[in-house]
Amino acid sequence: MSTQQRRAQINRATTETDIELELGLDGSGLSTINTGIGFFDHMLTAFAKHGCLDLQLKCKGDLQVDQHHTVEDVGICLGQAIDKALGSKEGITRFGHAYVPMDEALARVAIDLSGRSFLVLEPPFDEAAVGEFPVSLVSEFFRAVADHGNANIHIDLLRSSNNHHGIEAIFKAFGRALDAASLLSPRVHGVPSTKGSL
């Protein structure tokens, strides 16, 4: 698949959220993101920048209720976009991992674009929120990405004493790991699986 085709657009409207998302796997880290949640926008911008992914995202959510629907539904759409942009997965590296430090924090993310969804996330957050952003939504977001992106994702926050730093390190590591896993390799012929499909 040519890099020009490795893009996806997802539109999703429910009674809780209205989302327009466009993803380019072979980008340069350009993004325009507006979810109405400042901290979440910051994390997604870091994800796109360090994953060399182009991401355009607009979300109108029922923030008067809480942030849960917005964060989860953006994860659903991002997962769908990743899966759609990968297409047949011919020629991809398939596996990717990254370690990202941010001051005292160190995050590790490993991804298998296997077609089977599974999330392992074990961050030792020591507070309930970063500002007004509940840290429990980090798990909700990545679970939605894994489920709808048909990806196996393992996330470990190896050390952190600042939740902002820890979460940001996770999002940056996720971007870098996804970039590595989705990379087209001239050494990979067909689909990288002994089964012949992913």
| Token pair for 20 | 């327009």
153 is a domain residue: yes
pLDDT at 118 exceeding the cut of 70 = yes
Tell me the pLDDT of the chain averaged across its residues: 95
Quote the domain boundaries for residue 126: 3-182
- Name the token pair of 180: 């590595």
- Inside any domain, residue 191: no
Per-residue pLDDT at 4 exceeds 60: no
Is 70 within the bounds of a domain? yes
Model-level pTM?
Answer: 0.95
- Range with lowest mean pLDDT among 18-22, 28-32, 75-79, 121-125: 121-125
Q: What's the confidence (pLDDT) of residue 1?
A: 47
In a domain, 188, yes or no: no
66 in Cβ contact with 132 (< 8 Å): no
